[in-house]
Structure 1
């Protein structure tokens, strides 16, 4: 046993564990932190872990909170936003509806190669004074209570050993060491599976057609840098580029509409793509000799009963709860959980009672989790609808940028006084989001699923682009409160605009949603092209 107890032991030295260690060390430089990781560096590039796409909160967390911006810019790919092709059964991308931006939005996000990033994080953690131990297998642990220390038993290259710590932090990924030990896993009602593989060659989507008008829609003409979603009823296919030169390809599908048994090997997945996304199948098949890996998750989404405890243990990343990769929120929720854990550790170090903070942070975390889950649960059936999904995407991002991003970027996640002050607005926005997710299903039920051969450019929606551009504004409490109130009013106006647009061709959708028509003002939406 290590003779001296440590301030914190982190189970798992992947993305969640190493970033947590770095955030803790940055906040409390004298903190004694041990990270135990089973794998040994160097990790493979391109085919290490899935989860390559980040969005604005994660990019802000990695780049600004942890100071990793130079590494992101030098070693990874600046993302060209999300892009959607309504290409079910189609062989030509120029003949389908496309949703995306014609030019990169101001607030950055990145496509990351997990092997490159986690290799860097391991080295950087040691440079910052963190005791990062590789080749360690955790055999068990005893959770202390009150002021009793936690004990961790493990095996490394020198044999069996143990150590003690005041804080025990689980970042063990899907192994979920603490979640399983304490029986915390919960069914969240979201039934979806995923398969994925990496090809050791760039899939140059910009060269997949010769139509000059199609090519000229984007400036620069680099759609390959986007997280490209090729969508159809009950599923979506991702194309994500990696800085190592490889490409990540995945199929995510509703478990009932597209059973995993039809795609759980590479050959099955390729045959599935040939039926549903033939343009992707053709280009993947041409590079099949460069296949790097293949894997799948069954029922990948799950909840968790507890995240933070007054007994000085906590979960982060996939060791806790996992949502859905459609909008790439995984690293966002790592950032949120890590920030709450860092605040809890600080309160403990100052001698403050941890219990009330742990309960408050847990409620906040789960409110963000549930609000985001509503965007996915029961929604996969409309993913191939070019009339409804583009509007849903706009709504989902307005809610994300307008509420959660504001709290994160302005460092108010743990500000109990400010959160209490804004409780009515936060509750109203959450209720409105729940209502709109139900409305999208109502609309989809009568939708004609038409939108034409065109690009729906999100940059044409000035208010939408402006929301993205102002995320990094530095605001005091009063100004942030005013912005959040304005954003809730904006969401009401957006809801009214959406219902009006849907009702223009489908009057029946208004029934039961008349109250949404009373928002102040209207916001510009995409015009449907027949």
Structure 2
């Protein structure tokens, strides 16, 4: 049986994290907008063993708690994250005798560990409460896009089924948020591989992994306040891989192994038993923790070559892709929810301009270019960098650089609501391009440095909270800035990155005079056309261990 055709302002294919947050953002901005969300899974979804992508960072967290107004849920039903933490613990059981990177206290801007089952169930309920039509157990069967360049009232058409009944509908806007199924991506031939070849396996255990109890050394335990390292997204790192430990509010713990297949092939970790055998060799303390909990295993899954791009994500023909339906980077710094936040914000703005009767083709093209620029510059943090992860001399420097780039540039743009301010971003084009060039050059240099570093692994905690400028950079995201102050902030961030890059060169060449720093020195020798405010004098890096 076929129901009567219905017309909607926006149809979102996919009711997971990307699709539901977009629906909420649209209803928050346009109270009268008609939004239909079609989700193939039945709701409610299970807690814990639902989806990966449980760690959020500052942009995504700000999007959830402030832009969407979900802070009460996040504070009450999820876990506040104790930042990122890294341990150079390969082959070791004495975690208190290796180098640790992390903050001794929580920094100013909150982020969260998110049980995706709990969160997506809540998002679906909240969307329905705000007037979104949410239909679960719905399968999209056919998509017919409005012809490009057609009259402004031309509509997209699609059909979907639920419980054997077929429904035909029309939509002014069609959004693909259906994850890796990529319905629009496949239909339009938009898939685009990248050169980042890394695999991941993961599983959930229905028990807490309390990393703080892995040592009874009171001095080691007292380095953090609160004494809750387990609330961090903990990274156990080695050459070519890292292992994640993420606590979930449901009481479970998420465990993942992410590895470069050149050093750790997928077929050595692609089952729970294989992963456990691998952990026994490479991360034996975690193996000890899990070995007696095998009966508490909740799930196991893997992705081969999980990172990919997309030729286009926003169209002036009133369609768009968001979340993993478009592109995906790497989970090392948890950027997935960040790119959902950025993509959804661009989609909302395009829909707003369309509702106001404005032409959107040129704006959609610019947003697509900006989104891909953010993707390319972020991909540089990961691509060809996995060999560095086992280097206790170089990875701490990389982490400081990567955070400074993230908080100083992209986070400032998002937090200060300049993502769609094309005039402002255009006025800062030289600074933004220089930062991107610096980032690429520094990532190349870090690889060269790691090739010759001595990789000493002293028993020390490199405390990010003890770097005053670093903590202040995080706090500065909450400032209120007018246009001129925002320009000055980005120029100051550019200069701070230049100073930090210079210190990295000096640190590396002092320890290893043979490392080739010529390309980075050449870039640093270029003077910016606009004078910048220099950061406070003094070293920006940790003291050399």
TM-score range normalised by the length of the shorter chain: over 0.9
In the other structure, the counterpart of 1:97 is 99
Summarize the alignment of residues 472-491 of structure 1 with structure 2, pairs less than 5 Å apart.
472-491=478-497
Aligned pair partner of 1:64 in 63, 66, 77: 66
SS in 1 for 2:159: strand
Partner residue in 2 for 1:162: 168
- Measured against aligned partners, the alpha-carbon deviations of 1:380-438 in whole angstroms (never above 9, x if no partner) come to 01100000000000000000000000110011101111111111111111111111011
Tell me if 1:523 matches 2:539. yes
Match of 2:351 in 1: 345
CA offset digits 1:80-106 (Å, max 9, x no partner) = 000000011111101110000000011
**Structure 2 gap ranges (5+):** 528-533
Which of 172, 176, 180 is equivalent to 2:178? Answer: 172
User: Residues 323-355 of structure 1: CA distance to partner in whole angstroms, max 9, x if unpaired?
Assistant: 000000000000000000000001111111110
Residue deviations 1:162-209 (CA, integer Å, cap 9, x gap)? 100000000000111111111111111000000000000000101111
Number of the residue aligned with 2:30: 28
Contact 1:451 1:528 in 2 (8 A): no
2:390 partner SS: coil
| Residue of structure 2 aligned with 1:301, choices 283, 287, 307 | 307
Deviation at 1:450, TM superposition (A): 1.0
Residue 416 of structure 2 is matched in structure 1 by: 410
1:111 paired with 2:127, answer no
Equivalent residues in 2 for 1:362-441 (5 A)? 362-441=368-447
TM-aligned CA deviation for residue 513 of structure 1? 3.2
Partner-residue secondary structure (3-state), 1:201: coil
What are the superposed Cα offsets for residues 255-296 of structure 1, whole Å, 9 maximum, x if unpaired? 221110000000000000001000011101121110000000
**1:199 and 2:179 correspond:** no
Corresponding position of 2:283: 277
Contact 2:192 2:310 in 1 (8 A): yes
TM-score, structure 1 normalization: 0.98
* Distance (whole Å) between structure 2 residues aligned to residue 238 and residue 388 of structure 1: 20
The equivalent residue for 1:123 is: 125
Matched residue, 2:320? 314
The aligned residue for residue 463 of structure 1 is 469
Counterpart check, 1:253 vs 2:242? no
Q: Secondary structure at the match of 2:478?
A: coil
Partner of 2:145: 143
Please give the secondary structure, in 2, of the residue aligned with 1:58.
helix
Q: Distance in 2 between matches of 1:220 and 1:338?
A: 35
Q: TM-score, normalised by structure 2?
A: 0.96
Q: Identify which range, 149-158 or 338-347, moves more after superposition.
A: 149-158
| Alpha-carbon distance between aligned partners in 2 of 1:401 and 1:310, rounded to the nearest angstrom | 31
In the alignment, the residues of structure 1 paired with residue 457 and residue 275 of structure 2 have an alpha-carbon distance, to the nearest angstrom, of 28
Whether the 8 Å CA contact 2:78–2:115 is kept in 1: the answer is: yes
Shift in alpha-carbon separation, 1:183–1:106, aligned structure 2, 3 A: same
Q: Matches of 1:162 and 1:258 in 2, distance apart?
A: 48
Structure 2 contact 88–457 (Cα < 8 Å) conserved: no
- SS of alignment partner, residue 403 of structure 1: helix
Q: Is 1:54–2:61 an aligned residue pair?
A: no
- Please tell me whether the aligned partners of residues 496 and 522 of structure 1 are also in contact (alpha carbons under 8 angstroms): no
Give the conservation status (yes or no) of the 8 Å contact 2:198–2:258.
yes
CA contact (8 A) 1:85 1:96 kept: yes
Q: CA deviation at 1:40?
A: 1.3
Confirm or deny: 8 A CA contact 2:57 2:338 kept in the other structure: yes
Q: What is the distance in 2 between the residues matched to 1:20 and 1:369? A: 19
SS of 1:237's partner is strand
* Corresponding position of 1:492: 498
Query: Separation in 2 of the partners of 1:450 and 1:517?
Result: 28
- Deviation of 1:451 (Å): 3.9
Contact 1:492–1:516 under 8 Å retained in 2: no
Q: Residue 520 of structure 2 is aligned with which of 513, 516, 523?
A: 513
Give, in angstroms, the shift of residue 528 of structure 1. Answer: 2.5
CA distance in 2, matches of 1:35, 1:438: 43
Alignment of 1:1-16 (within 5 A): 1-16=3-18
Tell me the number of residue pairs that the alignment of Structure 1 and Structure 2 aligns. Answer: 529
* 1:233 aligns to 2:239 (yes or no): yes
Where 1:6 maps in the other structure, the secondary structure is: strand
What is aligned with 1:333?
Answer: 339
Q: CA RMSD for the aligned pairs?
A: 1.2
Q: d(CA) in 2 for partners of 1:154 and 1:233?
A: 47
What's the secondary structure of 1:191's corresponding residue? coil
Is the CA contact 2:105–2:226 (under 8 Å) kept in the aligned structure 1? yes
Question: 5+ unaligned residues in a row in structure 1: which ranges?
Answer: none
Q: Is the 8 Å Cα contact of residues 5 and 168 (structure 2) preserved in structure 1? A: no
Displaced runs of 4 or more, over 6 A: none
Contact kept, 8 Å, 1:85 with 1:97, in 2: the verdict is yes
Which stretch shifts more, 264-273 or 509-518? 509-518
* Shift, 1:516, TM fit: 5.9
Q: Contact 1:496/1:516 (CA < 8 Å) preserved in 2?
A: no
SS of 1:228's equivalent? strand
